[in-house]
Structure 1
């Protein structure tokens, strides 16, 4: 009995630990801001806040699918011209606007199907609004007040209210893998709707310890509905994702009521082709937590923009049963 009891306790602890590693739901928060780069800038895409909930769905383990994830999200984005204040010598000067003040507030849902041959296809739908009803002005005023920044000035020129209905698609495919510490994938996305039309493609490099694409931070698939099997192994890797982007429509630039200097012949003339570079690092505890932090460098969205722009992004997810 003396030997049996410790053995039973050991088996019980192993069973509890194994169960603790199986997670099929997660919630999390993402925050984007250009101030994370400590450059003192407050321009263009200046702030974003997003809340996520994802749930793994059952699948046929004998088929081609390795994982299925259903996600829901709510988010807000804020855009400034070259500064959050266009006050020049005590007077608001619309001539300082090289990109409109704009807010975008939305709710979204997505469905992510991931395959054993290390590819995935993700589709989504967003319903949102731009303009004063997106509360970009109020959100930026609050942030600046809380952190003691300058008072924003210029939101009176923001784009007018408009409804946004947008669909999106994303496709990733493993191309090559070198040992257990480096791989290269193809990544792409597309947007179509009343607010945003465009897409992008490029390679994605991972260096470090990572899972396959159907169970990784990089494809938002760290939950899985497979009873008796832990959700994933630990991950700690760095990644680099350069993209060539095509934009046909961006309502935060071309929205009705956008104010530009009178000298501009075309208000908010989009650059059709843009280049973006994202460098980041991701950590997956293999149980409860994932963290993804990155910096994004983006060429000019609008031809009239004085500079290109960049921002930092941090996402934290908590997994549970």
Structure 2
């Protein structure tokens, strides 16, 4: 009888230890982002017509209590005229190109719990970014029109580097409602701009130290901290000095057959919903953006689908 009690005690101790281990931090997160104007079901195929990004987040230090998150990503953005089926130069109302990039980013916090995000990207535009090949493959896969002709007018090749810095401050209002202030800048051979914006969240969410929205969920210690379900609205005002996907490569004289005059002021808003459970996170959003260049016939809408998975 005494042996039975000892066995039960050992079993309970083992279960307790195992449960505590399960409450440890996750150490890595894999994510994929797909963006496309077709998600809006409006029948449009421009101007930012497709985006795909794969990324991995991990703690930048071996210390489990570290609040620094590092991110490596690989992605491609494709830009068309208002309809990719155009075959004449006069119909191209936005420069045609792809933007291919790899990037390293880091997220950290100040003593006042303000978030600082910085990053650097190596990127390219032009034929070496494989926009034509990607779009032709997608259109053939889904039995859509052949987009090859417009790619005869794409921007010329250019390779370079870009840096970015973002500051974010939470302003709590209630337990289930908050506003955040956002300020950022990008500088380099592809994008030079500053951004001022805000984020409004309503629902069940973690603070910025451990929220999926900013890819800091690796800092959530216990499994029940991984549960979030909230709506969000993020408006931004951007002031541009340079955009290579509009104006062509910075150091090229022959930038391509069609370049555009940059609109220096751009408004962008995102309305979305985010849900996290266990190791997973799902983000669904609708994006609206004003004209990037005076050539454009209209503004644009596109959708975002993002899926994330935590692992040790």
TM-score (norm 1): 0.88
Structure 2: gaps spanning 5 or more residues = 249-253
Decide which of 139, 142, 146 is 2:134's aligned counterpart: 139
What is the Cα deviation at residue 307 of structure 1? 0.7
What secondary structure is seen at the aligned counterpart in 1 of 2:218? coil
* Count of residues paired in the alignment: 302
Is the CA contact (8 Å cut-off) linking 2:60 and 2:66 kept in structure 1?
A: no
Corresponding residue for 1:89?
A: none
Q: Could you give the per-residue CA deviations for residues 10-53 of structure 1, whole angstroms, max 9, x where no partner exists?
A: 55344434433420111121111111111111101000111101
Confirm or deny that 1:315 pairs with 2:306: yes
Using structure 2 for the length normalisation, give the TM-score: 0.90
Matches within 5 A, 1:85-104: 85-86=85-86, 92-104=87-99
Q: Which residue of 2 aligns with 1:67?
A: 67
Partner of 1:258: 256
What RMSD, in angstroms, separates the aligned Cα atoms of the two structures? 2.1
Question: Quick one: distance in 2 between partners of 1:23 and 1:242?
Answer: 31
What CA deviation, in whole Å up to 9, does each residue of 1:187-229 have, x standing for no partner? Answer: 12211001110021112100011111111012111113x9xx4
Matched, 1:302 2:305: no
Candidates 239, 245, 259, aligned match of 1:246:
239
Q: Which has the higher mean CA deviation after the structures are superposed, 66-75 or 127-136?
A: 66-75
Measure how far apart 1:289 and its partner are: 1.4
* Pair 1:121–1:147, CA change in 2 (3 A): same
* Cα distance per residue 1:43-97 (max 9 Å; x no partner): 0100011110111134889xxx9710111111101000111111xxxxx211110
2:152 match: 156
Residues 237 and 9 (structure 1), Cα distance of their counterparts in 2 relative to 1, 3 Å cut: farther
Q: State the 1:252 CA deviation.
A: 0.7
Following TM superposition, where does structure 1 have runs of at least 4 consecutive aligned residues deviating by more than 2 angstroms?
A: 1-22, 57-61, 114-118, 229-233, 256-260
The separation in 2 between residues aligned to 1:124 and 1:301, in whole angstroms, is 23
CA distance in structure 2 between the aligned counterparts of 1:141 and 1:57, rounded to whole angstroms = 38
The partner residue of 1:171 within 167, 184, 187 is 167
Would you say 1:80 and 2:80 are equivalent positions? yes
Q: 1:20 — aligned with what?
A: 22
Does structure 2 retain, via aligned residues, the 8 Å contact 1:23–1:230?
A: no
Q: Runs of 5+ in structure 1 lacking a partner?
A: 87-91, 261-266
In structure 2, C-alpha distance between the alignment counterparts of 1:282 and 1:18, rounded to whole Å: 28
Q: Is structure 2 residue 221 aligned with structure 1 residue 221?
A: no
Query: What are the superposed Cα offsets for residues 227-264 of structure 1, whole Å, 9 maximum, x if unpaired?
Result: xx43743111111001111111110111153334xxxx
1:201 aligned onto 2:199: no
Distance 1:177 1:58 in 2: 33
1:290/1:142 CA distance change after superposition, 3 Å: same
Q: Distance in 1 between matches of 2:295 and 2:237?
A: 20
Contact 2:217 2:226 (8 Å CA) reproduced: no
Change (3 A) 1:177 1:93: same
- Whole-Å separation in 2 of the counterparts to 1:42 and 1:246: 25
Residues 275, 298 of structure 1: 8 Å contact kept = yes
Cα distance in structure 1, aligned partners of 2:50 and 2:123: 17
Q: 1:44 aligns with which of 40, 43, 47?
A: 47
Q: Work out the CA distance in 1 between the residues paired with 2:213 and 2:179.
A: 12
Change (3 A) 1:205 1:7: farther
